[in-house]
A and B are shown apart, each in its own frame.
Chain A
Amino acid sequence: MSEWIYVALFIAVGLIIPIGAIAAGFILGPKKPNPIKEATYECGVEPVGEAWIQFKPQYYIFALVFLVFDVEAVFLFPWAVKLGQLGLYAVVEGIIFVSILIIGLVYTWRKGMLEWL
């Protein structure tokens, strides 16, 4: 339980810093608005079109592949924590686990789904 206090502290600091930065700018900064200043900031380039656009469906494939490897990481996490105390057989089991999933990565790669179209 007590180790979570550090996590809570980290979250609190992580919230305070951006809120503080924005609030300081809001309080201290001079406010002389004009239409150019009010425009949405887009890396210095003039914004084109609407902000609500449809994204390329290809992102979805990356998300799906990421999801599978995310779950793999969850399985490997307790294994990795205990790896130092376990013998060689645990290492071999972990390698088998990963290599089965590598087949999936090779499949998506060979199918050309990781290429950006």
Chain B
Amino acid sequence: MTGAQIIFIVVALYTLGSALMVVTTRNLIHAALWLVSTLFGVAVTYALMNANFIAVVQVVVYIGAIAILFIFAVMLTRKDMRDSGPQMNKNWWLGALVAVLVFAGLAFMLSGWSGFSKVAADLPSGFDSVSLLGEALVSPQAYVLPFEVASVLLLAALVGAVYVAFNRK
């Protein structure tokens, strides 16, 4: 096993363990913090795959904003975040069965694909995804229109979210 594979297995186990804690912990705030830990594990996985920009976006958007929004939503809506009820209902085995079946089905489907056992080609040296993306985002031949439309979409999201969330008296 190479060093990268060992790191991947450690990170994958850490991510899985955190994800398990998200659904099993009794305290909602602790669940949100475990979610931050899980998302961080995913970011490390992206970094291992040389997807540097996606890894940074994962940290900035998912941990920096989405998880904080979760924690805010919990803190603002409930006085007591400790849950007293059981964490599982009687259908837990059905959920586990469906999860195993979906995993087996996906693994079976993907094993038929020719790229399944191929090793990815090395990136050319000096490959910089961020500056390539920056160039593509503003180039008229590439994504300049989607780039500006994204701004309009964000504006609509901001106005809509604030309108819905604001408590008019």
Contacts and interface: CB of A to CB of B under 8 A. Distances in A.
Please report whether the interface of chain B is mostly helix, strand, loop or mixed according to DSSP: helix
A64 B158 contact: yes
A103 B138 contact: no
A55 B29 CA distance: 13
A66 interface: yes
Nearest to B156: A104
Contacts of B56: 77
Interface residues of A, number: 49
Contacts of A7: 47
Interface of A: 1, 4, 7, 52-57, 59-61, 63-68, 70-75, 77-83, 85-86, 89-90, 93-94, 96-98, 100-101, 103-105, 107-108, 111, 113
Interface of B: 4, 47-48, 50, 52-53, 56-57, 60-61, 64-66, 68-69, 72-73, 75-82, 130-131, 133-135, 137-138, 140, 144, 147-148, 150-152, 154-155, 157-159, 161-162, 165-167
